[in-house]
Structure 1
Amino acid sequence: MKRTLGMVTLSALLVGSLAACSSSSDTGSTSTAPAKASDKPASSAAPVKKDKTKLSYWTGDRHDMDYIKEVVQKFNETNTDNIEVEMVVKTEDFNQAIDLAFASGQAPDVIRVKENTIQPFVQKGYLKPIDAYLDDAMKKKFPIIDDFNRLDGKIYSLPNYGSTLRLVYNKDLFAKAGIAAPPKTLAEMVEDAKKITAVGKASGSYGFALNFKSPESALGRSARVIAEASGYGGYGFDFKTAKFDFAGYKPVIQAFKQMLDDGSTLPGMESLDIDPLRAQFAEGKIGMYISYSAEPGVYANQFPAKIDWAAAPVPTFDGTVKGATSFVGGQWLSISNTTKNADAAWKFMNYMYQDNVLKTYHEKGFGLSMVPSISAVAAKPNIKGIDGFLPVGKDGTWPLQPTVTVEGMKYSDAFFKYMISGGNLDQLVDELNKRYNDALDKAVAKGSVKVTPNPNFDPMKLMAK
């Protein structure tokens, strides 16, 4: 597994003077039917139109939905191949929806993929390699990275944007609680949450929240980045030994549980999705949470913030940074392996990767461009809060951990259950390690996963130079 993305692409972002600003989730799904161009009067000399080619594009992204709808509509109105794309936004259980769609023979033609889905989607045979469509100019323009875009020698997606992860905090509540600066350690975070709750509870404000309706999403945007900044693999994988070891999660889960036990978290957090959480934060009801660099765009457009807020580096175990802070991303669109209209799907995908689309995406603050030629010329978004999310020297991209199919409860659900119900955390970690490593051994034996120990792996070297 390689770490080229963090070193090359982030460096390009930082060298370019105008570098700037996940995935979000919501409930339900939205289908956006394409707008129809007005018909022209028929004439006897008019050429016969080709039959319309209809495509479906599925995404789980909510934060950029309005902009992407506009782009899709423009493609439908201007393409000369009579292609019509329907954009479907499925923001609840997106991965399960994709599984069901393929199982029932109703898979979309184009799919939004992410760092945690591209490997399993390839393993399941969902994605079509796009190598045949890429010319030398495209391969030079887009950084093609093993494990992120290219798997087993075949390319499945190209990068658009990535995201930094930060602690998002309500400056008004911090000032009211007498807190001078955002926390640098987990202990300070727990104490700050308690102080904020003490001064804010009467008006319905609490110190901390996460979107625990989906424990996987909640821990993926919080515990993951805290562990990585503290020197541990964010998904419980130890790259030195090439084995799973969830011991690095223990301090984070203990801190989260302590805030729950203290009553410092927003009531009902266990059923909170990310957009309702954002709405509560915008109203001043949450002191702090951890999330991606899409937040400035969200508070500028989706949920106008009624508070003074900012972003800061996430706390670490003891205040010492021992690893790169996640800069995540590297994929965007892929073509379904079952589509009957692969060439048309590529024409749409190619349109989505045009410079004007990617540049506008960057400038509107939906994500940080990971394409050097775009980040070099795009203007910095004029959006409140963006400065706290800009890449810095401590940001970097970690290699991808292997994807395995585990028997029993996933680690995120198991940790969340412990936070709510208690138990023996050491025993839980041991049990998770055994189940995940058993699954890893089976995957390696089957040949679906390849891992190699790297005794010299240094998480500090992942930082951008």
Structure 2
Amino acid sequence: MKKAAAAGVAVALSLAAAGCGSGSGSDKSVVTLWMYPVISDQAKNLAFWGKVEKDFEARNPAIDVKIDQQPWEGRQEKVTTALVSKKGFDLVVLVPDQLPQYAQQGTIEAVDDVVAPDKAAYMPNALTALTVDGKLYGVPIYQTITAPIYNKKLFAEAGVDKVPQTLAELKEAAPKLAAKKVAVLDYPGKPEISLNQSFYPILWANGGSVFAADGKSVAFNGPEGVASLQLLLDLKAVGGLPENTASKGNDIEGGALASGKTAMYHAATALQADQLGAAIGAENVGIGLPLEGSKRVAFGIAGGLVLARHSENKDAAKKFAAYVASPQVAAELAKESGFFPARTDVTVPGQTESSKEFAKSLQYAFPGDTHPKARQVMGVLAPHIQAALLGKEDAKTALDAAAKEADQLLGSGG
């Protein structure tokens, strides 16, 4: 099939009206994939997926693939609408916290059979992350990971010979750096920043969780949660957090870490490591394993190809999903996106040294506490953490107040 790379959005609009897998006027099976800019460079993104489409169709002439480039903005609403109206796509890229609600609604199809032939080659935590109630709902095509990045020079100048590898060591190093007017932790307390890249990694490291095991209530106000927030308050008290920590974001460029006012960010991406290197010199950037409390946990999500239950060409869609997840395509996707393969049998061409360091944390990847209301609960909790950082609430009071609101939300059924 010939198609200009930039025509994806137009195709998306036409298919939204016509539905997917029908009305093509040919004997071919039409498979529509809603793809998002996991490759941030637009030209590279279009070129990559254009080649994937062309190569797959050359191997499978009876299948007509349409890859529609969609924006991140409004993704949840658009996907939900498409699934409810039963039109728009056959396959869509989703992440773990989006799956439970669609699985409960019965609008997506299990895809265990797609990965079955190569199941041993997939990263176990990627498969687990995309599984709901024992069924796999996403074919993993990439894996993200976060890890600590730090300014080696600042630690050395403060006389800290060993960069913190545990939460206890982080607390111990704080006064030494504060004496040099440097905050040890570049903590982003702005409520708009995902707690997956601020508070939750500390909670998980301390053995805590966001939700109770039955999912009917929250657990973040338990002893582990209180200890985690108290750690932040203790750091703040000794100058271990930026003065504006309650309202700061996690931008590296133009931020405190790049200007030498903070020494470490505990939940950074590989791209942020590169940005820090550009600001302070790559030779001064260190990349560590997740900070350890009672265990090591790194926030990282698997992106999976999810099959709409309403698809009229499920076999063709599954065949295409398997192709995108194959080692050769996964390797090139990792190269172009900067993310990581969700398989262990993939060698990424030209992988940078910083990416190799981040890859060491993949074994600790955790997608967060998946729950249909996970994002809503995050929105309830974040302002209370901010209030504690502002000195308006103590750790226990802040988390108990947030838990009361969150439990009402979980019990509302809405």
TM-score, length-scaled by structure 1: 0.63
Counterpart pick for 2:34 among 57, 65, 71: 57
Alignment of 1:51-450 (within 5 A): 55=32, 57-59=34-36, 61=38, 68-78=45-55, 79=57, 80=61, 81-90=63-72, 94-95=75-76, 98-99=79-80, 109-130=90-111, 134=114, 136-139=116-119, 141-142=121-122, 148-152=129-133, 154-184=135-165, 186=167, 189=170, 192=173, 196=177, 199=180, 207-213=184-190, 215=192, 217=194, 219-233=195-209, 235-237=210-212, 244-247=219-222, 248-257=224-233, 262=239, 264-265=241-242, 267=244, 270=247, 272=249, 274=250, 276-277=251-252, 280=255, 281=257, 286-292=262-268, 294-295=269-270, 297=271, 299-300=273-274, 304=278, 306-307=280-281, 308-316=284-292, 321-326=293-298, 328-337=300-309, 345-362=317-334, 366-374=338-346, 381-384=351-354, 386-387=356-357, 389-391=359-361, 395=364, 400=369, 402-404=371-373, 410-420=380-390, 422-437=392-407
Asked if structure 2 preserves the Cα contact closer than 8 Å seen for 1:211 and 1:277, the reply is: no
Paired with 1:153 and 1:53, the residues of 2 have a C-alpha distance of 30
* Count of aligned pairs: 384
Paired with 2:355 and 2:32, the residues of 1 have a C-alpha distance of 37
Asked if structure 2 preserves the Cα contact closer than 8 Å seen for 1:194 and 1:264, the reply is: no
> Match of 1:289, SS?
strand
Matched-pair identity in %: 16
How far did residue 74 of structure 1 move?
A: 0.7
Letter aligned with residue 209 of structure 1: D
How far did residue 289 of structure 1 move?
A: 0.9
* Higher RCO (CA-CA < 8 Å; seq separation 6+): 1
Paired with 1:72 and 1:421, the residues of 2 have a C-alpha distance of 49
By percentage of residues, which structure has more helix? 2
Residue segments in structure 2 that go unaligned for 5+ positions in a row: 11-24
Letter aligned with residue 334 of structure 1: V
Paired with 2:82 and 2:123, the residues of 1 have a C-alpha distance of 30
How far did residue 422 of structure 1 move?
A: 1.8
Residue segments in structure 1 that go unaligned for 5+ positions in a row: 1-30, 37-47, 447-465
CA distances 1:264-292 after superposition (whole Å, capped 9, x unpaired) = 427587363x5x33564456564221225
Letter aligned with residue 386 of structure 1: K
CA distances 1:208-260 after superposition (whole Å, capped 9, x unpaired) = 4345555461x212432222222223x25468999624222223323434556
Paired with 2:380 and 2:100, the residues of 1 have a C-alpha distance of 17
Give the 3 Å change call, closer, same or farther, for CA 62–244 of structure 1 in structure 2. Answer: farther
Asked if structure 2 preserves the Cα contact closer than 8 Å seen for 1:193 and 1:287, the reply is: no
1:13: which partner in 2? none
Asked if structure 2 preserves the Cα contact closer than 8 Å seen for 1:278 and 1:303, the reply is: no
Asked if structure 2 preserves the Cα contact closer than 8 Å seen for 1:168 and 1:309, the reply is: yes
How far did residue 114 of structure 1 move?
A: 2.0
Letter aligned with residue 228 of structure 1: W
> Match of 1:246, SS?
coil
Asked if structure 1 preserves the Cα contact closer than 8 Å seen for 2:178 and 2:184, the reply is: yes
How far did residue 322 of structure 1 move?
A: 1.9
Asked if structure 2 preserves the Cα contact closer than 8 Å seen for 1:55 and 1:109, the reply is: yes
Paired with 2:174 and 2:243, the residues of 1 have a C-alpha distance of 10
Paired with 1:196 and 1:128, the residues of 2 have a C-alpha distance of 52
> Match of 1:179, SS?
coil
Give the 3 Å change call, closer, same or farther, for CA 411–94 of structure 1 in structure 2. Answer: farther
Give the 3 Å change call, closer, same or farther, for CA 408–181 of structure 1 in structure 2. Answer: closer
Give the 3 Å change call, closer, same or farther, for CA 165–178 of structure 1 in structure 2. Answer: same
How far did residue 189 of structure 1 move?
A: 3.4
Give the 3 Å change call, closer, same or farther, for CA 232–268 of structure 1 in structure 2. Answer: closer
How far did residue 87 of structure 1 move?
A: 1.9
The farther-off stretch of 192-201 and 281-290 is: 192-201
Give the 3 Å change call, closer, same or farther, for CA 408–200 of structure 1 in structure 2. Answer: closer
Letter aligned with residue 175 of structure 1: A
Asked if structure 2 preserves the Cα contact closer than 8 Å seen for 1:170 and 1:310, the reply is: yes
CA distances 1:97-153 after superposition (whole Å, capped 9, x unpaired) = 64566678886553322232222332344533335x638525565467886334345
How far did residue 400 of structure 1 move?
A: 4.9
Give the 3 Å change call, closer, same or farther, for CA 416–77 of structure 1 in structure 2. Answer: same
Give the 3 Å change call, closer, same or farther, for CA 389–305 of structure 1 in structure 2. Answer: farther
Paired with 1:324 and 1:176, the residues of 2 have a C-alpha distance of 27
Paired with 1:125 and 1:277, the residues of 2 have a C-alpha distance of 41
Letter aligned with residue 84 of structure 1: K
Paired with 2:160 and 2:378, the residues of 1 have a C-alpha distance of 42
Paired with 1:309 and 1:259, the residues of 2 have a C-alpha distance of 22
Asked if structure 1 preserves the Cα contact closer than 8 Å seen for 2:335 and 2:351, the reply is: yes
